[in-house]
Amino acid sequence: MADGSRSVRGGGGSPGSSPVLGGRCRGWAPSAVPPGHGFRRVTLTKPTFCHYCTDFIWGLAGYQCEVCNFMSHEKCLKNVKIPCSCIAPSLVRVPVAHCFGPPGHYKRKFCTVCRKSLESPAFRCEVCELHVHTDCILFACSDCRQCHQDGHQDQAHAACYIIVTPECTFGRLRNMILPPSCVQLFSRNFSKLHCFRISENLQAESEEDDDVDGSTQVSAKDVQISTDSSKQTLKIFDGNDAVKRNQFRLISIPRIAKNEEVVEAALRAYYINDDQQEYELQTFTQQALLSDDVINRNDAAEDSNSGSVFRESVPEAWIIRAKPKDEEVIRIYPAWLKVGMAYVSLRVNKESTTQSVIKEVLPLLGRQTECLQNFKLVEVLMGSKQVQRMVLDSQELILNRLKDIRKTSIRQMNQTRFYVVENSKSIVRVNLFIGGLPPQLSPEEYTNILKDELAIKTNVVSVSHVYQAQGAVVLEISCFSEAERIYMLVKDTTVNDKPLNAVVIPEVMASKIPQNCWPLLVFVNPKSGGLKGRDLLHSFRKLLNPHQVFELTNGGPLPGFHTFSKVPSFRVLVCGGDGTVGWVLGALEEIRHKLVCSEPSVAILPLGTGNDLGRVLRWGAGYSGEDPYSVLISVDEADDVLMDRWTILLDAEEPADGAENGVAEPEPPKIVQMNNYCGLGIDAELSLDFHHAREEEPGKFNSRFHNKGVYVKVGLQKISHTRNLHKDIKLQVDQREVELPSIEGLIFINIPSWGSGADLWGSDSDDRFEKPRIDDGLLEVVGVTGVVHMGQVQGGFRSGIRIAQGSYFRVTLLKPIPVQVDGEPWIQAPGQIIISAAGPKVHMLKKSKQKQKKTGSLKEMRVDSMAVSEGGR
């Protein structure tokens, strides 16, 4: 081999192209020359912003990249770190596909490929916030964040930038991020949406009004058509695949232009920065485009394009081809062999085979003593939606393979790499959480149900975990195709008229979690808070590892707690109303004996209507769009406090004659958990009416303001209502009979907030009772005389009637009475209600009173957790 035919490029400082976890942007190595850009001075005819510094470009002149439209101040040119779209694929170290949902409208966003604003439906990556036009998605490469290991590599994360340390430290959020090196997920055969448990039905819903641009859809192809009479527009195909799919790019050229100029424009349209002398254009007629034998027709006409000048009469459709080569230099990437280099350059010729390439590469990697049969050459196509791998045959001719790829698509060639990989026996282990099964069955009974309903193959499927109380199991599957079959089949399967649900869950390797790391397990109810939960889901997936963010409408809290069951220390953030918080705390109580960290601390981001627990713990009356990053900082700095929880046993007896509200039979005994309060009488009756109104028209209950308006309306309807509750119930407190005053409502309160922030107990001192606390092991019992009294309490003019304080309560219902626990109402039949302490106190996180030292400190911390601003996106 001639001198200079090999080269080894160091990888320690090799620039990456994926953002770090905890950050929002991409960045590349600074250089004196902007990486890959072809800037030219342009005259500005409308307000324009610099894609580097994001400031307005004053004056009439700016500098724009001819390939990717990146716009910059003249003063910013020397500082531009973001590479041109044409070289972005070459900067990727670990290819990671993006997680795109259905296309939608995004306001004030820019395409990562062409840098133009998103005035038409576009795609958004749910993990790294990359935005791209539908026409540009083919040119976006697989440079997303790496959030887990998939069995192919040991890297902790996708390539971080050279401007930060080689090992990503995750910035300010390092203590709460689940490191990707600790997460393993065998994800082949599953889409990114499935891997990150993203509900496709939520993605398909329309964006909120403030996120929707009302402009009509305009195709990027139409935008490129020139109206200048001195120019002509040509269709350019980049290979056989584009011809078959009729996917082309439009270029605008002078009516008389040289071949070289047209080839250069065609390469620029496909974001190819190779030497234009290596390419040529071939022509075919529009009729040939519609022919089944289009490729053969085109190949037969290869020599017809010998003219050096394009004139007005040329055909409108062309195909760009790479000229054949007798030899060329290719890059071989050492995959995950940990040799400290980015790639090896080799010169290959017509005789070079896969085996000969591996033989030449191994000595350069320090593996000269190893057997060739222990390695393979893998072709990797770094598409934006999927990373495709194909093992090359040992005798395959490399130049022929390159020719085939370019003939298919020169764009794909720009996104294709070759990796030398060490052979190893792959172990497949896919974990599927299956919920919706009948509760309280044995593992054998669950296995038999799955055999009958899903026809599982027991030689590759086993039940690894059983949650009998919840009716759920975790399957460990050693075959990708079987895992995919079961996952898809579960969607259409019901057991005892109850639909099953399946969730792909990762495996967290607890031994690899740093000692000072307390990962944050995030639960979000996307339907809470006027649907603000959907936006929070996206924000937290972007700021944290998506594998630690769980959507409660997709399997409930159990998949999240199971995923974190082996984590030695973690915290929980619940985004939802008080009912959602109670749901998660109840699930935690049921599963805590299976958790290594049995008492995680729980923070709240209030999204509901009342949010009384969130108010008590200083998280506010409700989420109103605060920066999710600052929310995470507040969670990290919050104080740990204890809170009582209570068990309520409902034991109905035979109803008395003349039972009301249609109650005809006794209800079976049931147990519910209480965190905030339990109400009987008028309080529960209002909650029940609100609940019925919401069930009738759920679409209208999407804002906190509307919900409170409905409460007021149902309250006014009950203002003249009279119910002598004290005659219909009997109360015992700590084994003592308590005489009730004339009241319409009886409320047991655990926290000093009721009915959206009202202080029902009051602040006046009383020698009969202790000062209430949320961790004193006591409940306060308060009465209200009616709707007017409740309104006065909520207005701060009165407090309730203090009745008792204790730790054990027995209420005897003499007739059916409305009951509500933490906002969940129903009609309770006559019988006994017993309230007692529910096991250990729960650890909650109370927002710290300590303020930021100065206004800019939060911004400084945020910059510490992200790469340089990309500006144009």
Helix (H, G, I), strand (E, B) or coil at 830: coil
How far apart CA 615 and CA 221 sit, in angstroms, is 53
Yes or no: say if 318 and 235 are a contact pair by the CB < 8 Å rule: yes
Residue 533 confidence (pLDDT): 82
Query: What is the pTM assigned to this prediction?
Result: 0.81
Query: H or E stretch including 706?
Result: helix 704-717
Q: Which amino acid makes up residue 858?
A: L
Length of the chain: 873
Q: Which residues contact 475 (CB under 8 A, 6 or more apart)?
A: 431, 432, 433, 434, 450, 456, 461, 462, 463, 464, 486
What is the 3-state secondary structure of 629-676? HHHHHHHHCCEEEEECCEEEEEEECCCCCCCCCCCCCCCCCEEEEECC
pLDDT at 786 over 90: no
pLDDT at 14 over 60: no
* Higher-scoring residue by pLDDT: 166, 817: 817
Q: Which residue has the tokens 């390797």?
A: 509
pLDDT digits (tens, 9 = 90+) for 730-749: 999 999 999 999 999 999 99
Token pair, residue 705, equals 């303001």
Phi and psi at residue 222, to the nearest 5° = -65, -35
How far apart CA 620 and CA 615 sit, in angstroms, is 5
Yes or no: say if 782 and 800 are a contact pair by the CB < 8 Å rule: yes
How far apart CA 28 and CA 50 sit, in angstroms, is 17
How far apart CA 676 and CA 242 sit, in angstroms, is 61
Q: Which residues contact 749 (CB under 8 A, 6 or more apart)?
A: 676, 677, 760, 761, 772, 779, 780, 781, 782
Percent of the chain with pLDDT over 70: 78
pLDDT digits (tens, 9 = 90+) for 626-648: 899 999 999 999 999 999 999 99
Residue 291 confidence (pLDDT): 39
pLDDT digits (tens, 9 = 90+) for 37-74: 778 888 888 888 888 777 888 888 888 888 788 888 88
* Higher-scoring residue by pLDDT: 162, 123: 123
For 853-863, give one letter per residue: b (16+ CB within 10 A) or e: eeeeebeebbe
pLDDT at 288 over 90: no
pLDDT digits (tens, 9 = 90+) for 552-569: 999 999 999 999 999 999
Residue 300 confidence (pLDDT): 39
pLDDT digits (tens, 9 = 90+) for 488-511: 999 899 999 899 999 999 999 999
Residue 708 confidence (pLDDT): 61
pLDDT at 728 over 70: yes
Residue 223 confidence (pLDDT): 40
Residue 1 confidence (pLDDT): 39
Residue 665 confidence (pLDDT): 61
pLDDT at 830 over 70: yes
Residue 256 confidence (pLDDT): 84
Query: H or E stretch including 273?
Result: none
Q: Which residue has the tokens 């039979």?
A: 665
pLDDT at 852 over 70: no
Q: Which residues contact 477 (CB under 8 A, 6 or more apart)?
A: 428, 429, 430, 431, 432, 460, 461, 483, 486
pLDDT at 338 over 60: no
pLDDT at 159 over 70: no
pLDDT digits (tens, 9 = 90+) for 666-684: 667 889 999 999 999 988 8
Q: Tell me the C-alpha to C-alpha distance, in Å, between residue 794 and each of 610, 788, 798.
A: 12, 10, 8
Residue 225 confidence (pLDDT): 52
